[in-house]
Amino acid sequence: MFSVDLGGGATLRPLEPWQAPEFLAHMDRARATVDPWIPWASRSPDLDGARATLQRYADLQSQDAGRLYGIWLEDTLVGGTMFVSFDVDSSVAEVGCWLEPAATGRGLITTGARVLIDWAFRVRGLHRIEWHCRTDNTASSNVARRLGMKLEGTLRENYPWQGVRHDTEVWAVLASDWQ
């Protein structure tokens, strides 16, 4: 099986529908802190919802349009990175992430996202990788900054969450900028 060592006992591996029970247990630990930033956190409240979320990404991967990877710390799923979108025709992808509180501060998201971006540029030949995050998600914008992305703009009130519309920052890095 595909597995990338992220250091410190952490690995990055595909996250697939058959892992729905493990994903649900992880979401139960992470939901309160992940839900404001990732729309599918609240859509995975039970085993059927968790399986549907994972199946959606499996379907996207089968169409070469997205991918989902989990981050395991030792033997526990603690978060992940993903290609929210992956458009070979336009040569643009969007990378996203999530992490439960117990695993923060270890650089897992930055390292995992770097693996995805490097693969997209070096193996798949994409031209541009984007990172979208709410303007109040400082942790996420800090990861984009650490990845060498540039803040290109803000989408005003484009992300609804719990009846309130939030602004979204758009960060990006081009293949020519990637080191």
Evaluate whether 145 touches 173 at the Cβ level (below 8 Å). no
pLDDT of residue 41: 82
Q: Which residues pair with 5 in a beta bridge?
A: 11
Longest dimension (CA), the chain: 43
Where in the chain are the domains?
4-177
pLDDT of residue 179: 76
pLDDT of residue 43: 84
Hey, which bits of the chain come out as E strands? 4-7, 10-14, 67-73, 76-87, 92-99, 128-134, 150-161, 164-174
Evaluate whether 31 touches 24 at the Cβ level (below 8 Å). no
Reading phi first (left if > 0) and then psi (alpha if -120 to 50, else beta), residue 29 is in alpha
Cβ neighbours of 140 (radius 10 Å): 22
pLDDT of residue 1: 60
* CA angle, residues 58, 143, 126, in degrees to nearest 5: 50
Binned average pLDDT, 10 residues per bin, the chain of 179 residues: 90 97 95 86 90 96 96 96 97 96 94 97 98 95 97 95 93 95
Q: What digits encode the pLDDT tens for the residues 143-160?
A: 999 999 999 999 999 988
Per CATH, domain 4-177 is 3.40.190.10 = no
Residue type at 70?
G
Q: How far is residue 44's CA from residue 90's CA, in Å, rounded to a whole number?
A: 31
Single pTM value for the model? 0.94
